Amino acid sequence: MTWTPPPYADPTAFTEQDIVLDAADRTVPGTLTLPSQPSVGVVLLAGGGPFDRDETSGPNKPLKDLAWGLASQGIAVLRFDKLTANRPEAMAEPGYTMTSEYVPHGIAAVRALAEHVDQVFLVGHSMGGKVASKIAAEEPLVAGLVIMAGDTQPMHHAAVRVMKYLAATSPEVVTPETVAVFERQAAVVDSPELSADTLPTDLPFGMPASFWLDLREYDAVATAAKLDVPILVLQGGRDYQITVADDLPAWRDGVPSATIEVLDADNHVFFPGTGPSTMADYQVPGHVDPAAVTAIVNWLP
């Protein structure tokens, strides 16, 4: 099914151009969305997985929704394909980490957008929200962060929790045996014996040990708390991946200066709905909640 613009987007309010970001000896393609004479811009960071610049999943493109929605309100936007978008096999290669996948090109994106606006903010979704404070800690041009469903639980623990939820809500897809596998793999990540030589087949999602060793050393909340920039945390009330109960308290307690807003109707990709969210949600055509776009627009200077 073809993506259609959300009702809050006005394609006549901006222009788009293709760009290339060059960092760490790798290039990635991206899109620069420019309204006339913008003073503020945002770099969008997609969630975990080999996502393109639109965070395309099934019939939906949540980051394109967001880019067009923000640009329609006069905010410049730069979004880019993750390194793994065109080479997903790289996620299984030794040496792959969240840091290497996000930080070099995230910094390059901030610097590229800074050529067009006075202030650049990061808007990160899911793992993109988790890593946003890491990018800001390394790039002083970042004026602030918007963290959308940013996880604070250790990812391997969250994976077990999510698998248990899916086993209950989608038993035809996730079985008790699958949950047991994730529990065993999460225990390996927690083990002091985890090393670069640990086989990916013994680890969650088949990610190499380098990925998990990198994550074990990173605390998104503690990193954010050290930043001298404003932070907005958005959370979907129906999100079963990153949740109000399991992840949001760490942002509230660890970064008390942050502005926090819960959008009760929204799932993990900030699509509104009713009832418990399930895996099937992501295959239903929809758009990012206009309330999420409005929250960001109202918070930005």
Mean pLDDT over all residues of the chain?
Answer: 96
Alpha carbon 144 to chain centroid distance? 16
- Give 90's pLDDT tier (boundaries 50, 70, 90): confident
| Segment 284-288 mean pLDDT | 96
- List, in order of start, the domains of the chain with CATH numbers: 11-153+218-299 (3.40.50.1820)
- Residues 248 and 147 sit within 8 Å (Cβ to Cβ): no
| Segment 51-79 mean pLDDT | 97
pLDDT, residue 89, reads: 87
| Segment 71-79 mean pLDDT | 98
Q: Residue 258 phi/psi, 5° resolution?
A: -70, 145
Neighbours of 296 (CB within 10 A): 22
As annotated, the active-site residues are 126, 239, 268
- Residues 53 and 81 sit within 8 Å (Cβ to Cβ): yes
Check the CA dihedral 118-29-35-37 and report its sign. positive
Q: Residue 227 phi/psi, 5° resolution?
A: -80, 145
Quote the pTM value: 0.97
pLDDT tens sequence across 124-158: 999 999 999 999 999 999 999 999 999 999 999 99
Check the CA dihedral 84-86-89-93 and report its sign. negative
